[in-house]
Amino acid sequence: MKVRGQTAAGYFAGGPLAGSSRRTIWPLLLFVALLSDCAIPTRLAWGQSGETSGYKVKTAFLFNFAKFIEWPASSFATPDSPFTICVLGQDPFGSILTDTLQGKTIGERPLAVRRLKDKSEARSCQIVFVSSSETAHLAAIVETLRGGNVLLVGESKGFAASGGTIEFTLEDDSVRFTINTDAGDRSGLKFSSKLLALAQLVHDQAHLKGG
């Protein structure tokens, strides 16, 4: 496998993940291997604090979730609308999200980053990262976005099973993710089989079924 002209071995030996254990980088390596154009942000800065590097990895995943999901035309207000990644609630990314994704595109659409003050604004986004500060309001957020083509991503425990679409988890110092396929179906989003193969899959909790 090559990453931007390098072999995977050379990339990890001398690149930004140098010094990371195989266990730590393996999920990300798998994800990179699946990318058709290897367009994953490569400056992950694992030498920085765990929190900072963790949000750099999560930013990379958010960018690539967009590439492995089929977005209906109804996801966008106009043919020229940007692909928008939004943060709802207290922003844990700081400047990482904007700095990393500046100038990137999803297909032919420019990528935009927004911070939301209210859940009612979320329908204009394609991906919404729901901050842990909004965990108590997740049911209301899910209901507000019902029928919309919006991918809800969060990191609070039980986020996916509680109605969110993708939940980031931490396992053996690695960022991994869980997908709620019921939530994906509700949003009219079609996941690539390659993306599903890398995720833990869950379904709605009983009280959400048929809602």
pLDDT confidence of residue 207: 52
Q: Are 28 and 57 in contact, with CB atoms under 8 Å apart?
A: yes
**pLDDT tens series, the chain, 211 aa:** 333 333 333 333 333 333 444 444 444 554 554 443 333 333 333 334 466 788 988 999 999 999 999 999 999 999 999 999 999 999 999 999 999 999 999 999 999 999 999 999 999 999 999 999 998 999 999 999 999 999 999 999 999 999 999 999 988 778 899 999 999 999 999 999 989 998 999 998 855 655 4
Fold observed for domain 2-208: Rossmann fold (3.40.50)
Q: 37: which DSSP letter?
A: S
| Biggest CA-to-CA distance, the chain | 51
Q: Are 141 and 122 in contact, with CB atoms under 8 Å apart?
A: yes
pLDDT confidence of residue 124: 94
Nearest 5 degrees, angle CA 57-CA 34-CA 15?
50
Cα 49 to Cα 74: distance, rounded to the nearest angstrom? 40
Of the candidates 96, 34, 45, 40, the one whose C-alpha atom is nearest the C-alpha of residue 63 is 40
pLDDT confidence of residue 171: 84
Q: What is the CA radius of gyration of the chain?
A: 17
Cα 98 to Cα 169: distance, rounded to the nearest angstrom? 22
